[in-house]
């Protein structure tokens, strides 16, 4: 039996951006990984947690822990959902020592997709080719909670035909923020437009990120502004050949 | 969200000149901070942050001990410590002292703590003249406004705005050159310093082992405020106490760098007690007013009391993409930005503006730049939970609560989840793979309407990931 990983595709990829999940599976398979998709998976609980509904977040988090208990390695196409499991589940179960033990075991098994490739699989060149000029948007949770900055850039640097142009600033929030995007829609939209100015300033044709939620916000605002710039998840870029 | 909060955010976003002023000024401060904390300039920056956090934690964990030590040492030098519970007690103390000494004119140096208790307004209400002497604060006092930013109070004013304010309030010829405007203010303020009966300052640090207050400033006005008048009153929150003078070796390296991007501020003053025999200057009376005003409520709360570590550098404001859009006056209290969003609900109660802890994308930029490592996003999350608990007790926001209960139920029943997903997809308008600009009126409600007010919506894929996976 070869190397095996479980996919946690996140509810957003499952329901809205399934191609991202398929691309991630494609890249992992090409690297020789056996893949399973635990069918009971749904969400990590972050929407409830960030909205202040901790009891509801705990319920969903418990479901996640149960669903992935048997998995040895879990790969996630989102920095934000990864950080929810590795950084915030422990906050939710402070007062439940037994669950907390499960959480700590889980924290070691869950990987954001880009860092899984560079740190676990040990690859930077996945054999991808994409003729394009791209810019990279750092998702806030990937950058500041998980400390991911160089991994996606190293992976992009090895994509044949691809030119990466950094936007300034790359690390400023796109304004998504979960329910923030609808609770403070006007403010969130203003933040997205500032992000878009930075993107357009690079002259890139494509914005790449690790987080489908940032990409939904950015693409939604690009589309509203009538700008001909597309968004792609890193997995989709790496699956291109 | 209160109507007022919503309106202020909208008005600020709609004002193009203001947007440019805020974004440019905070951007400059943000860049300067990055320059002076860079690895090649301050290699031990992260270690200093860790030390500063440990020192503040120790001081707050032992607050009673250090406040008593501070008080003993202040009194040993002939000064007096006055504990005040709230705004009224502060103004009562000052008014009573002014009355007994026959004082009429007060000069003030910059202090967020006095802003917090509306000291100027309270003193003026009782017939005293209280003049701000920090240039930014003076401009705002003339304009009848509160500070826009913790360290750069007039950040939103252009020089042309200042020219208008000076012309109108000081009846001087209009000048728009910053140096000339500064000279006008200096001329007025010098007279005030010479005539003032009382000087009121804030304090950046209360040093327990030395019984001294440390004041960090750039304009020299705090030195004049604290030494020219016969009476000096320093007003500070109780959380400003630090154990030892030598701890400043850590804090002074961080404060100016984080606040303005300077290596050190221009003036760093240590003031302990009134003028002693043989000394040529200094006040005859020296008081330290220690303010609670809600701070002690945080002490039993282990999950959030780190909010008291704040040294008021303002770095989190400059880093915050929300502050940089909505500015300082949108916030419901004098403290703005991320730090305001965490201390306002704790000092004033969560119902003061329940939406405040939610006005954040949780991007974490604030926590990243905080020199004393306050985990601001974590505290915001705790406060969000507090708001929801309070709403549940009061029976408010029931629809949202029900929504999240349904969310939790759906997300723990994968079959229901899948079915719900397919139903939602079947209801979505056909976009031919294009992003959706609008939905039929009956669907345009709630979150969907809010999303579409600013952005397009992704089209629903023909199959979910799990369906694609099954059929591949």
ipTM higher than threshold 0.95:
yes
- pLDDT band (50, 70, 90) for residue B431: low
Number of separate domains in chain A: 2
Asked whether residue B28 is assigned to any structural domain, the reply reads no
How far is residue B85's CA from residue B420's CA, in Å, rounded to a whole number? 54
Residues A101-125 have a mean pLDDT of 98
- Do B223 and B361 have their domain in common? no
Q: How far is B161 from chain A (nearest CA, A)?
A: 25
How many Cβ contacts (< 8 angstroms) between chains A and B?
202
Nearest to A49 by CA among A8, A13, A15, A83: A83
Q: In this predicted model, what pLDDT tens digit does every residue of A7-61 receive, in sequence order?
A: 999 999 999 999 999 999 999 999 999 999 999 999 999 999 999 999 999 999 9
* pLDDT mean over B10-34: 97
- A41 in contact with chain B, both atoms CB, cutoff 8 A: yes
Mean pLDDT of B354-382: 98
Q: Among residues B342, B417, B332, B424, which one has the least CA distance to residue B386?
A: B342
User: What is the rounded radius of gyration, in angstroms, for the C-alpha atoms of chain B?
Assistant: 26
The per-residue pLDDT for A1 is 45
Q: Give yes or no: residues A130 and A113 share one domain.
A: no
A227 and A142 within one domain: yes
Residue B158, domain member (yes or no): yes
The range of the structural domain enclosing residue B368 comes to 310-394
Q: Among the three residues A118, A137, A160, which one is the final residue of a domain in this structure?
A: A118
Q: Of A100, A118, A136, which closes a domain?
A: A118
| Chain B residues within an 8 Å CB radius of A39 | 414, 466
Q: Are residues A10 and A102 in the same domain?
A: yes
Q: Are residues B68 and B121 in the same domain?
A: yes
Residue B255 and residue B361 in one domain: no
B326, closest residue in chain A (CA to CA): A187
Contact across the interface for A19 and B466, Cβ inside 8 Å = no
Relative orientation angle of helices B414-427 and B398-411, to the nearest 10 degrees:
120
- State the pLDDT at residue B426: 86
Same-domain pairing of B241 and B341? no
Q: Are A237 and A20 in contact (CB under 8 A)?
A: no
Whether residue A29 sits in one domain with residue A72: yes
Q: Return the pLDDT at B54.
A: 98
Token readout for B377 is 């996003």
- The predicted model gives B373-385 an average pLDDT of 98
Cis preceding linkage at A26, omega within 30: no
Q: Which residues pair with B285 in a beta bridge?
A: B231
Residue that terminates a domain, selected from A86, A103, A118: A118
- Residue A131 burial (CB count, 10 A): 10
Residue among B309, B236, B312 nearest B52 (CA): B309
CATH number (domain holding residue A18): 3.40.50
pTM of the entire predicted model: 0.96
Same domain, B374 and B344: yes
Does any CB of chain A come closer than 8 Å to the CB of residue B427? no
Number of domains chain B is built from: 4
Q: Are residues B187 and B288 both part of a single domain?
A: yes
CB contact, 8 Å: B20 with chain A?
Answer: no
pLDDT in tens, A135-181: 999 999 999 999 999 999 999 999 999 999 999 988 999 999 999 99
Measured between CA atoms, how close is A47 to chain B, in angstroms? Answer: 9
A27 in the same domain as A101: yes
The answer to whether the CB atoms of B464 and A194 lie below 8 A apart is no
Report the CATH number that the domain containing residue A219 is assigned in CATH.
Answer: 3.40.50.11810
Q: Provide mean pLDDT across the span A107-132.
A: 98
Task: Count other C-beta atoms under 10 Å from residue B308's C-beta.
Answer: 23
Q: Does A176 touch chain B (CB under 8 A)?
A: yes
Residue B425 pLDDT greater than 90, yes or no: no
With CA atoms as reference, report the closest residue to B213 among B222, B366, A94.
B222
Query: Same structural domain for residues B386 and B288?
Result: no
CB–CB of A233/A213 below 8 Å? no
Domain of A190?
A: 125-238
- The answer as to whether B440 is a domain residue is yes
B285 and B318 assigned to the same domain? no
pLDDT band for position A217 (cuts 50, 70, 90):
very high
Q: Are residues B112 and B242 in the same domain?
A: yes
Residue B8 belongs to some domain of the structure? no
pLDDT band for position A127 (cuts 50, 70, 90): very high
């Amino acid at each position: 039996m070869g190397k095996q990983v479980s996919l946690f595709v996140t509810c957003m990829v499952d329901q809205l951006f399934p191609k991202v999940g398929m691309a991630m599976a494609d890249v992992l398979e090409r690297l020789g990984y056996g893949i399973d998709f635990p069918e009971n998976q749904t969400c990590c609980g972050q929407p409830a947690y960030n909205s202040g509904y901790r009891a509801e977040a705990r319920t969903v988090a418990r479901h996640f822990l149960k669903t992935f208990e048997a998995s040895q390695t879990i790969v996630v196409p989102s920095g934000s959902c990864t950080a929810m499991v590795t950084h915030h589940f422990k906050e939710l179960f402070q007062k439940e020592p037994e669950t907390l033990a499960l959480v700590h075991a889980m924290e070691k098994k869950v990987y954001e997709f880009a860092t899984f490739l560079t740190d676990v699989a040990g690859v930077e060149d996945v054999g991808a080719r994409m003729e394009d000029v791209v810019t990279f948007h750092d998702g806030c949770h990937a950058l500041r909670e998980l400390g991911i900055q160089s991994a996606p850039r190293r992976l992009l640097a090895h994509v044949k035909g691809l030119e990466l142009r950094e936007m300034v600033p790359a690390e400023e929030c796109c304004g998504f923020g979960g329910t923030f995007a609808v609770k403070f829609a006007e403010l969130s939209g203003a933040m997205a437009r500032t992000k878009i100015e930075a993107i357009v300033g690079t002259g890139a044709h494509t914005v790449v990120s690790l987080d489908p939620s940032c990409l939904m916000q950015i693409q939604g605002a690009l589309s509203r502004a009538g700008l001909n710039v597309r968004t792609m998840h890193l997995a989709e870029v790496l699956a291109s050949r | 969200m209160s109507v007022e909060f919503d309106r202020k955010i909208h008005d600020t976003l709609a004002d193009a000149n203001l947007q440019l002023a805020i974004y440019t000024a905070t951007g400059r401060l943000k860049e300067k901070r990055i320059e002076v904390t860079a690895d090649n300039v301050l290699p031990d920056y992260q270690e200093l942050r860790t030390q500063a956090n440990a020192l503040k934690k120790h001081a707050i964990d032992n607050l009673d001990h250090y406040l008593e030590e501070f008080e003993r040492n202040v009194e040993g030098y002939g000064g007096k410590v006055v504990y005040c519970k709230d705004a009224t007690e502060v103004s009562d103390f000052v008014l009573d002292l002014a009355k007994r000494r026959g004082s009429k004119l007060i000069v003030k140096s910059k202090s967020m703590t006095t802003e917090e208790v509306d000291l100027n307004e309270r003193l003026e209400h009782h017939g005293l003249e209280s003049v701000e002497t920090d240039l930014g604060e003076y401009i705002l006092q003339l304009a009848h406004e509160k500070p826009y930013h913790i360290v750069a109070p007039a950040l939103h004013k252009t020089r042309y705005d200042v020219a208008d304010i000076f012309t109108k309030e000081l009846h001087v010829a209009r000048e728009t050159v910053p140096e000339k405007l500064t000279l006008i203010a200096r001329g007025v303020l010098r007279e005030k310093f010479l005539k003032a009966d009382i000087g009121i300052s804030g304090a950046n640090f209360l040093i327990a082992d030395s019984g001294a207050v440390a004041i960090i400033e750039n304009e020299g006005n705090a030195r004049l405020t604290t030494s020219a008048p016969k009476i000096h009153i320093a007003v500070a929150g109780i959380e400003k106490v630090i154990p030892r003078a030598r701890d400043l070796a850590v804090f002074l390296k961080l404060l100016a760098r984080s606040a303005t991007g300077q290596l050190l501020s221009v003036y760093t003053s240590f003031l302990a007690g009134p003028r002693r025999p043989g000394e040529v200057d200094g006040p005859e009376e020296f008081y330290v007013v220690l303010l609670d005003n809600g701070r002690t409520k945080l002490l039993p709360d282990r999950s959030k009391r780190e909010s008291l570590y704040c040294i008021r550098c303002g770095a989190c404001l400059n880093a915050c993409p929300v502050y940089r859009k909505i500015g300082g006056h949108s916030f419901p209290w004098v403290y703005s930005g991320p730090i305001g969003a965490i201390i306002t609900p704790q000092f004033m109660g969560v119902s003061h503006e329940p939406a405040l802890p939610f006005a954040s994308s949780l991007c974490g930029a604030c926590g990243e730049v905080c020199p004393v490592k306050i985990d601001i996003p974590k505290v915001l999350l705790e406060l969000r939970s507090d708001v929801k608990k309070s709403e549940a007790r009061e029976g408010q926001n029931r629809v949202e609560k029900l929504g999240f209960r349904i969310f939790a139920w759906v997300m723990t029943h994968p079959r229901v989840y899948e079915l719900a997903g397919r139903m939602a997809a079947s209801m979505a308008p056909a976009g031919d793979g294009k992003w959706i600009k609008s939905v039929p009126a009956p669907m345009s409600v709630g979150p969907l309407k809010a999303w579409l007010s600013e952005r397009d919506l992704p089209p629903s894929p023909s199959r979910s990931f799990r369906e694609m996976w099954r059929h591949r």
